[in-house]
């Protein structure tokens, strides 16, 4: 059975479809949600041979005009250079306003292809086919498109919601194990901020999820999409409430940067969540014991945290203060009340004294 979750964006509603084997039905789904004269599949060179070529064959046998545009896998490709090459390739191939772009891949592919779709001939329809846990539960939901720049990640982009998101847990079987555990950190985050029962389910099913068991994966992907979908539907352009998705990320981003990116995003955010819960406990906002609960739940993911001990607390503080400049003042933190509930302050986040932050970093790194 396919699960359908409606997400609202720019006054339009688009569905996220979650189902095992759904990719095989892609041509029918395209007919329903994004009928177009031509389709351009965008995929990286790791996912392309695994899934995009099969998508092409299936679409062609259903009588559709479709071609593949590929780029080298990895964050290094999320650039204006790749954007410019892809848009030139689409123009050379004769794509027009009646074309639709299909992004098949992880969050890098999703963000890059969405930015191409947002800008190509001033915008063409987009279908997201996320293939990593992270892309299914996070990157493909919410309509953000963009690329990285010398000055930082995701600094040039647009909002360009897709016509439909198609999440088929079958594809997770080939996802490298580090990518599985890293992506699942964001699922734990969804449970931690919004749904204690979901958090408990994730703990109980951690092994199955790491094995990419399709039934467990389908349930978790659907639960996370529903939660993130509710948040972005309420606050599409990041006015306020959407900030709660930043739980663990203020410190997570600083740890990631201070480690010289030897800590993965998932590992850094996992450590960030534990530390931010610790901050909340010190401030008596967060129920005592919450950071321990988070720490033991996340430990089940077997994240590679070795380089955490080498991270220099001073460097973390310095990354936090460079972050401050962009936010006119101090770093802001989303704090939990307890697992499943965030502190409902004005703006959904609050400033925390630097000294306390430093203390927590020194304790836990
Ligand atoms: N738009 C948003 O709201 C949003 C939210 C969160 C993250 N992001 C972005 O998402 C990106 C990270 O996403 P990601 O972790 O998926 O990275 P990614 O796209 O680089 O994928 C990770 C690796 O796994 C491979 N891969 C993906 N699916 C696979 C599969 N099924 N089988 C085998 N290999 C597979 C990819 O080729 C890549 O090498 C970052 O750029 C981040 O900024 C965006
Ligand atoms: Zn994240």
User: Which residue out of 64, 190, 253, 332 is catalytically annotated?
Assistant: 253
Provide CB contacts within 8 A for 159, sequence distance 6+.
9, 10, 118, 143, 144, 145, 236, 237
Considering the domain architecture, whether residues 114 and 201 belong to the same structural domain is answered as no
Residues listed for the chain: 365
Instruction: Report whether pLDDT(44) > 70.
Output: yes
Examine the residue annotation and report whether 351 is marked as an active-site residue of this protein.
no
pLDDT digits (tens, 9 = 90+) for 12-29: 899 999 999 999 999 999
Atom of ligand 1 at shortest range from CA of 141: 3
Choosing from 132, 228, 247 the residue with most ligand 1 atoms within 8 A of its CB, the one to mutate for a pocket test is 132
Q: Which residue has the tokens 């990157």?
A: 139
In a domain, 135, yes or no: yes
Provide CB contacts within 8 A for 323, sequence distance 6+.
250, 253, 254, 331
How would residue 321 be classed by pLDDT, with cut points 50, 70 and 90?
Answer: confident
Considering the domain architecture, whether residues 43 and 142 belong to the same structural domain is answered as yes
- Can you tell me the distance from the alpha carbon of 21 to that of 302, in angstroms, rounded to the nearest whole number? 28
User: Would you call 297 helix, strand, or coil by DSSP?
Assistant: helix
Residues with CB under 6 A from ligand 1: 44, 46-47, 50, 73-75, 78, 105-109, 111, 131-132, 134-135, 138-139, 142, 144, 153-154, 171-172, 174-175, 179
- Which residue, of 150, 174, 198, is where some domain finishes? 174
pLDDT digits (tens, 9 = 90+) for 302-318: 998 888 888 999 999 99
| Residue closest to 183 by CA, chosen among 210, 143, 222 | 210
Mean pLDDT over residues 83-105, rounded? 98
Considering the domain architecture, whether residues 308 and 279 belong to the same structural domain is answered as yes
In a domain, 230, yes or no: no
Distance (Å) from CA 249 to ligand 2 centroid: 7
331: number of Cβ within 10 Å: 21
Where does residue 124 rank: exposed (0-12), middle (13-18), buried (19+ CB within 10 A)? Answer: buried
Backbone angles phi, psi at 240, to 5 degrees: -165, -65
In a domain, 169, yes or no: yes
Instruction: Report whether pLDDT(221) > 80.
Output: yes
Would you say 34 and 184 are in contact if contact means Cβ atoms under 8 Å apart?
Answer: no
- Which residue, of 121, 154, 174, is where some domain finishes? 174
Number of domains in the chain: 2
Q: Which ligand is nearest to the CA of 189?
A: 2
Mean pLDDT over residues 330-339, rounded? 93
Quote the pLDDT of residue 329.
61
Distance (Å) from CA 155 to ligand 2 centroid: 15
How would residue 235 be classed by pLDDT, with cut points 50, 70 and 90?
Answer: confident
Quote the pLDDT of residue 347.
82
Quote the pLDDT of residue 152.
87
User: Would you call 350 helix, strand, or coil by DSSP?
Assistant: strand
Quote the pLDDT of residue 118.
98
Considering the domain architecture, whether residues 293 and 317 belong to the same structural domain is answered as yes
Q: Where are the beta strands (DSSP E) in the chain?
A: 3-9, 12-18, 38-44, 66-71, 99-105, 126-130, 144-149, 152-159, 164-167, 332-333, 336-338, 341-342, 350-351
- Can you tell me the distance from the alpha carbon of 288 to that of 275, in angstroms, rounded to the nearest whole number? 13
The helix, strand and coil proportions of the chain, stated in percent and rounded to the nearest 5, come to 55, 20, 25
User: Which residue out of 69, 78, 95, 242 is catalytically annotated?
Assistant: 242
- Can you tell me the distance from the alpha carbon of 116 to that of 90, in angstroms, rounded to the nearest whole number? 10
- Can you tell me the distance from the alpha carbon of 15 to that of 3, in angstroms, rounded to the nearest whole number? 10
Examine the residue annotation and report whether 189 is marked as an active-site residue of this protein.
no
- DSSP sequence for 320-334: HHHHHHHTTSS-EE-
pLDDT digits (tens, 9 = 90+) for 139-181: 999 999 999 999 889 999 999 999 999 999 999 999 999 999 9
In a domain, 222, yes or no: no
pLDDT digits (tens, 9 = 90+) for 243-283: 999 999 999 999 999 999 999 999 999 999 999 999 999 99
Atom of ligand 1 at shortest range from CA of 144: 1
CATH code of residue 328: 1.20.1090.10
Handedness of CA 279, 285, 289, 292 (dihedral sign): negative
Mean pLDDT of the chain: 94
The H or E element containing residue 232 is helix 214-234
Considering the domain architecture, whether residues 354 and 206 belong to the same structural domain is answered as yes
Instruction: Report whether pLDDT(324) > 70.
Output: no
CATH code of residue 20: 3.40.50.1970
Considering the domain architecture, whether residues 242 and 147 belong to the same structural domain is answered as no
Considering the domain architecture, whether residues 193 and 335 belong to the same structural domain is answered as yes
In a domain, 199, yes or no: yes
Q: Whose CA is nearest to atom 8 of ligand 1?
A: 139
Choosing from 107, 154, 265, 303 the residue with most ligand 1 atoms within 8 A of its CB, the one to mutate for a pocket test is 107
Choosing from 179, 257, 266 the residue with most ligand 1 atoms within 8 A of its CB, the one to mutate for a pocket test is 179
Q: Which ligand is nearest to the CA of 47?
A: 1
* % of the chain beyond a pLDDT of 70: 96
pLDDT digits (tens, 9 = 90+) for 279-288: 999 999 999 9
Considering the domain architecture, whether residues 94 and 82 belong to the same structural domain is answered as yes
In a domain, 273, yes or no: yes
In a domain, 228, yes or no: no
Atom of ligand 1 at shortest range from CA of 78: 41
204: number of Cβ within 10 Å: 12
Considering the domain architecture, whether residues 288 and 145 belong to the same structural domain is answered as no
Instruction: Report whether pLDDT(236) > 80.
Output: no
Considering the domain architecture, whether residues 247 and 333 belong to the same structural domain is answered as yes
Distance (Å) from CA 363 to ligand 2 centroid: 23
Q: pTM above 0.75?
A: yes
pLDDT digits (tens, 9 = 90+) for 104-148: 999 999 999 999 999 999 999 999 999 999 999 999 999 999 999
Q: Which ligand is nearest to the CA of 245?
A: 2
Considering the domain architecture, whether residues 314 and 253 belong to the same structural domain is answered as yes
Range of the domain at 106: 3-174
- Which residue, of 174, 199, 224, is where some domain finishes? 174
Would you say 100 and 30 are in contact if contact means Cβ atoms under 8 Å apart?
Answer: yes
- Can you tell me the distance from the alpha carbon of 234 to that of 239, in angstroms, rounded to the nearest whole number? 10
In a domain, 7, yes or no: yes
Considering the domain architecture, whether residues 243 and 140 belong to the same structural domain is answered as no
Backbone angles phi, psi at 98, to 5 degrees: -95, 15
Atom of ligand 1 at shortest range from CA of 145: 1
């Amino acid at each position: 059975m396919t699960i359908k979750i409606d997400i609202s964006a720019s006054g339009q509603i688009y569905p996220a479809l979650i189902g095992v084997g759904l990719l095989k039905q892609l041509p029918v789904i395209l007919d329903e949600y994004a009928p177009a004269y031509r389709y351009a599949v965008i995929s990286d060179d790791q996912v392309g041979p695994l899934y995009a070529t099969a998508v092409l064959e299936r679409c062609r046998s259903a009588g559709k005009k479709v071609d593949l545009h590929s780029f080298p896998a990895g964050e290094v490709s999320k650039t204006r250079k790749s954007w410019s090459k892809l848009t030139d390739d689409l123009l050379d191939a004769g794509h027009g306003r009646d074309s639709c772009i299909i992004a098949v891949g992880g969050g890098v592919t999703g963000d890059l292809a969405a930015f191409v779709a947002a800008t190509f001939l001033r915008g063409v329809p987009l279908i997201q086919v996320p293939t990593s846990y992270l892309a299914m539960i996070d990157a493909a939901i919410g309509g953000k498109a963009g690329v990285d720049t010398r000055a930082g990640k995701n600094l040039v982009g647009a909002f360009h919601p897709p016509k439909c998101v198609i999440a088929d847990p079958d594809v997770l079987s080939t996802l490298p194990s580090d990518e599985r555990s890293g992506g699942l950190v964001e699922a734990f985050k969804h449970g931690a901020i919004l749904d204690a029962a979901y958090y408990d389910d994730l703990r109980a099913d951690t092994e199955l999820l790491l094995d990419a068991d399709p039934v467990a994966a389908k349930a978790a992907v659907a639960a996370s999409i529903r939660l993130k979908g509710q948040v972005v539907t309420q606050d599409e352009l990041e006015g306020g409430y959407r900030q709660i998705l930043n739980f663990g990320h203020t410190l997570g981003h600083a740890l990631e940067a201070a480690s010289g990116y030897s800590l993965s995003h998932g590992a850094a955010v996992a450590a960030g969540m534990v530390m931010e819960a610790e901050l909340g406990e010190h401030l008596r906002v967060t129920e005592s014991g919450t950071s321990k609960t988070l720490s033991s739940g996340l430990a089940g993911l077997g994240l590679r945290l070795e380089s955490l001990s080498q991270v220099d607390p001073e460097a973390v503080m310095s990354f936090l203060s460079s972050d401050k400049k962009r936010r006119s003042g101090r770093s802001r933190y989303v704090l939990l009340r307890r697992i499943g509930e965030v502190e409902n302050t004005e703006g959904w986040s609050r400033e925390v004294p630097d000294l306390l932050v430093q203390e927590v970093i020194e304790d836990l790194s």
